[in-house]
Chains A and B, each alone.
Chain A
């Protein structure tokens, strides 16, 4: 019977040091020979591969516990060292101990009162801070105090100065202390003095820091690999232990044979070296031990340390079964909650189902289908059946039916994924909690994972070759938690800023713009096509009845809004006129929704977009996640419907401008260049007026940058005059779907100044950027100004300059990812233990109060209204909804533009510029 649901917890782990006696007592065997296997390939008794130390070969049994591979955890052995050797990890502690205790009587070099004073302080500190860490400062202080004494207060012996010759040699006034002597001294330190120095005598005696016995880890910890050629390749740790054993052996023989002192000492030192590198092969001051191939050995510390070490790689992160990974692709017909799983993957991933009386027949039927059911329609099969005794039976086509017969209640059937199963979906890097969300499975043909495009922003995914991971959940608790807490619809609002992270992007925004902008209208056939996908059954009354029935886009969009929705806000096509005409805006940029009817305004990024969509914001906060999920699903489909009917394309001819405009741009460029020349001339003649706090050269640079910046803007404006809203590229830029007007003006007008480190280009050759220019040329062309546009094409030197700017961007991105990754790791590590307690305080594991009230108002940022506890405007609007005159009064007061919160701080020109550029350049590099 499989044991489940046992909720035993480890309550604590105590750390301690092993004494030599303990090491000898706990071992399965003593290891004495450096040889591992005999000529027949059998492990030698009392060798490093002694079968008492555990089994690594399948089929064999452990000689100590009698268990098989995977059951036997392995057993320690030990090596008796011929001479004591110092443990590298504790040299600093030993130095401290030697320095602060008497060389003859072993007592701490402090009087009783002094020692007591320190103990008192220590206890007090422990009492106050609740952990032993802070108190370590006090023990360090007491050690420092003691080591400064020159005469023992207990026996009046004169103390000599002890120094540490790194890594492991102690000297007393130049005279070398052997590990044996060190051990003798440490032995003399009484227990009560250790407490003062911060050592717990109950778990650690200082003489144990000088090793007399060395534990040999079980073979399971250092398994040897059999190569294809049949040769055995031993683990690095085994190699190192062989070295230790060999030298240990020689040392013992030489010592017993009464060899000269010099030889014994040399061997002793060699043994010390091997034991040192056995612990840490990166000890500073000694050369690392190397493999025959010249690669440094990976010994104990290296196994634990760092990113690939045991702690970070195996203990903090674990490998899982029931997961899948493949390329992703879009599918706007799926709900945001869903994920399309290819059949091949669905047949590998399984969900355990406990057989009961009620599902016995279904379970039998599924099992009978075997692991690969035939037929074009996907039907779930079964990969494994787990019997009541815990045995797993693999289902094959052959045994499927016989196993199915035998299924009875209490069995567990591992069936294939089905539509509606909850799975976790993830894209690396998992920077925030929205990087792993729970989706419902939709099993589909072909070989990619598919999901709704609105879910791209939280995963930061695109489809240029990205891959994602999927995990099938295995327990009822996990599924319940995932469904309640991790479902996509629960994450529409980001805890980072209290706004939506899931929302329309790219074509969906263009689509909704086309649908709702100004007086767009659709025939009956078109209307039906758009609405049927969204599942809207009732057609409203047509806005125009003759000559043909036509429905306005605003009408269609209103169909998917909740009927009691009231909203007012500005679209992103808003021109930011000095005086807002509200509903009468000629750009149709003022959105008014009354009783779920879109009265005026265009639905674009500000309404639906990820990070900005005001409607999404409002719906998911006030109407709940189900409602807003339904809205996003429908909006996706309507937008796609609208854009399909109208058709939408963009190309290089979207940046066409008349010849007249081109000439104007050229003129502007010539003028800018002349102006730059003027500035340079003024500078050369010393007529340039220096800016306060700037050198003359800097002043010139600032002036030139100003002129050239202006020149690019003028070019952009000239080009912009000929790019109207009938232009597809402009539509995308204006409604926030993709690109910006800056991008367009760079394509049609001029690219402008290229910069490295925020300055004009200046490096390259001696006093010039390229050999095409004269030395010391400060003119616009020589310093990286590009007067051409992407469309007209760049001159060779311009192209080179553009690459220089581009390279900086790439380097920047590379540096940034690693730096910010490390910062985030540190932040997470520092903050991970903080949680809100039942009493509303925020505390850490030491139970220290970090905040008395979370965030000073106890508000969940994910539920906040872009940081505010309550949307005051909305409260007023809701309560005073039918009292028109009162609202008018509030509006006139103009404390804030009522109902309109223009607080999208996400929107800065720089942000969009940088984001856009890197997206174009770096796309498709993952994978």
Chain B
């Protein structure tokens, strides 16, 4: 029976029904035949014989093959090795599997987190099955008791839970986190920054983890760090302007250069490629000279400034890299952030390297990563301030912000500005503009949200306002009516 449709596909293409049946009975579907390579073709030939095969192939090819080939452009496969993809979920342990099976039998479910919690505690304990069943039963009972009620206004609760501790947070912008040498925005300003979905955080920071082989080798780590850190001319040399000769003198500092692993020739090479300086660079003794091609002091001055800020090596946007020993290995922390370029660098552990710039994560790794990053950053900020906020609240905010595939801010330019209700938008900010526009486009407010209903003075649509009790009197029961 199931083969019928498979046969039909062949016949529709003009293949004889008998032949088609034969093919299907031997386990060949249409696509299998259509995409068959030489080897499989020969196998089919054995079944059908040469003539029939040719007919079949003709039928298939003329009608389908040709256009399909065009569309099937060879896709450039991104080079992803297995170690680049971190395991999302750890495979269940033996105890966990046992519990999951027991739960399945009784038709109940528990979240993996609970099962994991249980199993780690009873891993090596010989717990009789009967007792384990009891444990699971009780856990299920408790779990069901803790389930949220339908129509609960979870949004308001989340907003309150995140907003209320705001008053208890510090305003102090700068503080150190993990690395004493670096300043990070923390507390309320950081939280506001996160919900605002700013393009660039006020203190972008990256945490760069390294691959196994590089992690413990300080020299290697130093080399990577100096490769990442943006080095400009002024970092390795003194720049002087020689007015009499109309040139800029770059006096290279040996020690500084050594630390950065640079030689004068390299610097010369790099400078020669810099925009606006091509062909003006000379290597004189051990110093570099930039000649000014116009007899203009203005130009000379600009050239001097350009030279000072000319990049020699490193990644754009990363101002400073600091090496720290964390746990077993070295980690590089950077001031400034450029996730895309850093991930492209060698010896970087791509699965653990992060930045605190949510937008950058969104651009490089996608919306799901951005969503996780918002959760991560917000809960880190709250935790650092010593405030406990349930993860579910932060998750909800993050899910709302990333709901339609781009990171939207909480506020007039993001979520609130795009609400479907005119009244809700008008009640938030820029009242008159929203009302005027509504008149022009003939918008209809269907009063489904909270503010709209408060404005017109009827029960809101969340919580107890979401349900109605309807009593339809029966003739027998009620005597009065």
Identify the A interface with B (CB < 8 A): 7, 9-17, 89-90, 93, 130-134, 136, 198-200, 202-204, 280, 301, 304-306, 309, 311-312, 315-316, 318, 431-433, 481, 485, 495-499, 691-694, 702, 757-758, 812, 815-817, 819-821, 823-824, 826-838, 840, 842, 844-846, 848, 850-851, 854-861, 863-864, 866-873, 875-876, 878-880, 883, 886, 889-890, 893, 895-896, 898, 905-908, 910-911, 914-915
| Known A90-B440, A886-B125, A893-B124: A12·B114 in contact at CB below 8 Å | no
* A199-B416 in contact (CB<8A): no
Chain B residues with CB under 8 A of A827: 158-159, 162-163, 195, 397, 410
Determine the distance from Cα of A52 to Cα of B381 in the docked complex, in whole angstroms.
62
Determine the distance from Cα of A200 to Cα of B424 in the docked complex, in whole angstroms.
21
Which residues in window 118-151 of B have CB below 8 A to A? 118, 120-127, 131, 134-135, 138-139, 142-143, 145-151
Determine the distance from Cα of A434 to Cα of B90 in the docked complex, in whole angstroms.
39
B163 interface neighbour in A89, A823, A861, Cβ under 8 Å: A823
Interface pairs (25), CB distance under 8 Å: A431-B167, A433-B160, A496-B161, A496-B164, A758-B175, A812-B172, A819-B171, A823-B188, A823-B192, A824-B162, A826-B411, A830-B159, A831-B397, A832-B153, A833-B449, A835-B154, A835-B463, A837-B150, A848-B404, A861-B392, A863-B148, A870-B139, A875-B135, A905-B383, A910-B170
- A883's nearest neighbour on chain B, judged by CB, is B131
- A10's nearest neighbour on chain B, judged by CB, is B456
B121 interface neighbour in A13, A758, A866, A872, Cβ under 8 Å: A872
Determine the distance from Cα of A66 to Cα of B168 in the docked complex, in whole angstroms.
58
1/0 per residue, CB under 8 A from A, across B395-421: the answer is 111011001100000111011101111
* A204-B170 in contact (CB<8A): no
Chain B residues with CB under 8 A of A495: 157, 161, 390
Chain B residues with CB under 8 A of A868: 113-114, 117
| 16 further A-B pairs in the complex, CB-CB below 8 A; given A758-B174, A831-B397, A859-B147 | A14-B445, A90-B440, A133-B419, A280-B432, A312-B427, A497-B388, A498-B390, A835-B152, A835-B154, A835-B155, A838-B150, A850-B396, A858-B148, A859-B392, A863-B147, A863-B148
Determine the distance from Cα of A911 to Cα of B438 in the docked complex, in whole angstroms.
47
Chain A residues with CB under 8 A of B188: 816, 819-820, 823
Least CB distance from B114 to A in Å reads: 5
* B113-A823 in contact (CB<8A): no
* A831-B174 in contact (CB<8A): no
| Known A823-B195, A855-B395: A812·B442 in contact at CB below 8 Å | no
* A16-B145 in contact (CB<8A): no
Chain A residues with CB under 8 A of B145: 863
| Known A13-B423, A497-B390: A886·B127 in contact at CB below 8 Å | yes
* B390-A893 in contact (CB<8A): no
B159 interface neighbour in A831, A835, A875, A889, Cβ under 8 Å: A831
* A835-B466 in contact (CB<8A): yes
- Which of B114, B164, B427 is packed against the most chain A CB atoms within 10 Å? B164
Least CB distance from B204 to A in Å reads: 16
A815 interface neighbour in B171, B180, B410, B422, Cβ under 8 Å: B171
For residue B245, CB closer than 8 A to chain A, the reply is no
* A829-B428 in contact (CB<8A): yes
Least CB distance from B31 to A in Å reads: 32
Chain B residues with CB under 8 A of A883: 131
Least CB distance from B165 to A in Å reads: 7
B142 interface neighbour in A850, A875, A914, Cβ under 8 Å: A875
* A857-B427 in contact (CB<8A): no
Determine the distance from Cα of A796 to Cα of B339 in the docked complex, in whole angstroms.
53
A863 interface neighbour in B146, B419, B432, Cβ under 8 Å: B146
Chain B residues with CB under 8 A of A846: 420
Least CB distance from B143 to A in Å reads: 5
1/0 per residue, CB under 8 A from A, across B184-212: the answer is 00001101100100000000000000000
* B195-A875 in contact (CB<8A): no
Least CB distance from A207 to B in Å reads: 13
- B138's nearest neighbour on chain A, judged by CB, is A875
- A826's nearest neighbour on chain B, judged by CB, is B411
For residue B435, CB closer than 8 A to chain A, the reply is yes
* B154-A836 in contact (CB<8A): yes
| Known A17-B440, A829-B428: A820·B163 in contact at CB below 8 Å | yes
1/0 per residue, CB under 8 A from A, across B169-182: the answer is 11110110000111
Determine the distance from Cα of A351 to Cα of B168 in the docked complex, in whole angstroms.
38
Chain A residues with CB under 8 A of B389: 496-497
Chain A residues with CB under 8 A of B435: 15, 304
For residue B451, CB closer than 8 A to chain A, the reply is yes
* B448-A845 in contact (CB<8A): yes
Chain A residues with CB under 8 A of B158: 827, 831, 834
Determine the distance from Cα of A691 to Cα of B424 in the docked complex, in whole angstroms.
54
- A431's nearest neighbour on chain B, judged by CB, is B164
For residue B111, CB closer than 8 A to chain A, the reply is yes
- B148's nearest neighbour on chain A, judged by CB, is A860
For residue B272, CB closer than 8 A to chain A, the reply is no
| Known A13-B423, A869-B143, A875-B138: A834·B400 in contact at CB below 8 Å | yes
Determine the distance from Cα of A842 to Cα of B390 in the docked complex, in whole angstroms.
17
Chain A residues with CB under 8 A of B163: 431-432, 820, 823-824, 827-828
1/0 per residue, CB under 8 A from A, across B423-446: the answer is 110111001110110111111111
B154 interface neighbour in A9, A854, A856, A876, Cβ under 8 Å: A854
Least CB distance from B219 to A in Å reads: 16
| Known A485-B464, A858-B148: A890·B122 in contact at CB below 8 Å | yes
For residue B93, CB closer than 8 A to chain A, the reply is no
Chain A residues with CB under 8 A of B195: 823, 826-827
| Known A835-B462, A906-B388, A911-B385: A878·B166 in contact at CB below 8 Å | no
Determine the distance from Cα of A231 to Cα of B9 in the docked complex, in whole angstroms.
93
Least CB distance from A571 to B in Å reads: 20
* A858-B166 in contact (CB<8A): no
Least CB distance from B418 to A in Å reads: 5
For residue B22, CB closer than 8 A to chain A, the reply is no
- B145's nearest neighbour on chain A, judged by CB, is A863
B396 interface neighbour in A17, A132, A834, A857, Cβ under 8 Å: A834
Chain B residues with CB under 8 A of A815: 171
* B442-A15 in contact (CB<8A): yes
Chain A residues with CB under 8 A of B320: 693
Determine the distance from Cα of A510 to Cα of B279 in the docked complex, in whole angstroms.
81
Chain A residues with CB under 8 A of B400: 830-831, 834, 844, 850
Determine the distance from Cα of A89 to Cα of B439 in the docked complex, in whole angstroms.
11
* B172-A136 in contact (CB<8A): no
* A872-B428 in contact (CB<8A): no
Determine the distance from Cα of A495 to Cα of B266 in the docked complex, in whole angstroms.
61
For residue B322, CB closer than 8 A to chain A, the reply is yes
For residue B365, CB closer than 8 A to chain A, the reply is no
* B143-A812 in contact (CB<8A): no
Determine the distance from Cα of A838 to Cα of B435 in the docked complex, in whole angstroms.
33
* A132-B125 in contact (CB<8A): no
* B122-A692 in contact (CB<8A): no
* A130-B181 in contact (CB<8A): no
Chain B residues with CB under 8 A of A835: 151-155, 461-463, 466
For residue B92, CB closer than 8 A to chain A, the reply is no
* A15-B422 in contact (CB<8A): yes
- A887's nearest neighbour on chain B, judged by CB, is B125
Chain A residues with CB under 8 A of B156: 433, 828, 831-832, 834
- B135's nearest neighbour on chain A, judged by CB, is A879
- A131's nearest neighbour on chain B, judged by CB, is B420
Determine the distance from Cα of A838 to Cα of B424 in the docked complex, in whole angstroms.
24
For residue B257, CB closer than 8 A to chain A, the reply is no
Least CB distance from B403 to A in Å reads: 6
Chain B residues with CB under 8 A of A863: 145-148
- B451's nearest neighbour on chain A, judged by CB, is A316
Determine the distance from Cα of A16 to Cα of B411 in the docked complex, in whole angstroms.
26
- In the A-B complex, the 3 residue pairs with the closest CB atoms: A824-B163, A834-B155, A820-B166
- Which of A829, A844, A898, A906 is packed against the most chain B CB atoms within 10 Å? A829
| Known A836-B151, A854-B392, A906-B388: A817·B138 in contact at CB below 8 Å | no
